[in-house]
Copies of this chain bind each other. A is one copy, B any other.
Amino acid sequence: MRCHFSPTGLQGDASNPAQALALWLDSVLRGIGQVLFQNNSYSGLLFVLGVAWHSPVLAAAAVLGCAVATVFAQWLGLQRSVLRQGLGGFNGALVGVALVYFFEPGLLTWVCVLLGAAIAAMLGLALRRVLDGWGLAVLTAPFVLATWLFFLASAGLGRLQPSGLLPAATLPSAAAVEGVVSASTWAQGLGHSWGQVFFQMDIGSGLLLVLGVAIASPSAALIAILGVVAGMATAWVLGAPEPAMRAGLWGFNSLLTALALGHVFLPAQGVKQLPATLYALWGAVVYTLLTAALQAALAPIGLPVMTFPFVLTTWGLLLAWPAAIH
């Protein structure tokens, strides 16, 4: 089948070098789309625009990271069909954004983006082999692990320079309720949760990201919004600090968990939409506790939790589910 436009982006086979390049760029854009589970290069393009709306440099880092990870995964032998869905690159895209966000600008930081994206691609292949036996996807675990590698390494390698946005290492202690949750907390939290997937707190970016998901799948956008609401509501009841709720930090993992369970993995196993969505919303309770727990567990080594609560919650809920359908 010759190269042509489809509702999800370019499809088919290249018949000349220009088309091969176009298909490769399409794979990179699908990689950006896969950050929010969309195998859709138009979504990917909107996500790039959403990031660029707030910070063109971060958008460039996302595209560069995604491209490098795609190339390295191909070199390590990842199948073409998987690469064409963007699954070789999305962790590299997030590594690029995170390193440029948390490290001082400079040449070495961009070298780290290249290295980090390659490491994420390699970790993706390694984890894929380990998780295959249980039917689990790697999700954003390669991104989180590769990024933590650089953050932690900056404590021993003097030329890696954090930008001061990383949390300082500290011993955890019991929290008090902080601030009062109002309607504006909810409104801003709902808007910011989307951008936080790419380390942004910008409602304009958020709208472009919602739009990117909605053009690929309106129901996915709805499930993601329900996920944010469930995550924020649980966090509210259990006494999460108001400023973090307003910043969207209690919504973005929940957004991803709801998409993963309610839109992607359970429907792929033939589970109906209603039970899949309900189970995904139960996941928000687990995710909220896990986010606070991981924050405390990582406090003595000064690491941000990023999307790891989403990864662990999704793995746990998927592993527990199959019993229900036997």
Contact = CB atoms under 8 A, between A and B. Distances in A.
A317 to B, nearest CB: 7
Interface stretch (A15-23, A32-40, A217-225, A295-303): A295-303
Nearest to A291: B156
A205 to B, nearest CB: 25
Interface string A151-189: 111111111111000001111111111100000000000
A271 interface: no
A289 interface: yes
B171 A300 contact: yes
Interface stretch (A56-64, A72-80, A89-97, A260-268): A72-80
A241 interface: yes
Contacts of A321: 76
Contacts of A134: 129-130
A24 interface: no
Given A77-B326, A122-B320, A157-B240, 18 more contacts: A122-B286, A125-B320, A126-B317, A127-B319, A129-B320, A149-B293, A152-B294, A152-B297, A154-B292, A155-B173, A158-B175, A158-B176, A158-B177, A158-B239, A159-B237, A160-B239, A169-B172, A297-B301
Given A172-B169, A296-B152, A160 B325 contact: no
A174 B154 contact: yes
A199 to B, nearest CB: 19
A211 interface: no
A47 interface: no
A323 interface: yes
Interface of A: 75-78, 108, 115, 119, 122-123, 125-127, 129-130, 133-134, 148-162, 168-178, 235, 237-241, 285-286, 288-297, 299-302, 315-317, 319-326
Nearest to A238: B157
A287 B157 CA distance: 13
Contacts of A162: 174
Contacts of A160: 238-239
A160 B316 CA distance: 23
Copies in the complex: 3
Nearest to A162: B174
A115 B285 contact: yes
A161 B174 CA distance: 8
A321 B290 CA distance: 33
Contacts of A77: 322-326
A78 to B, nearest CB: 6
Contacts of A169: 171-173, 300
A76 B325 CA distance: 8
Contacts of A325: 77
Contact of A292 (B123, B155, B291): B155
A143 to B, nearest CB: 15
A111 to B, nearest CB: 9
Nearest to A157: B238
Contacts of A294: 152
B150 A175 contact: no
Given A291-B156, A317-B122, A322 B178 contact: no
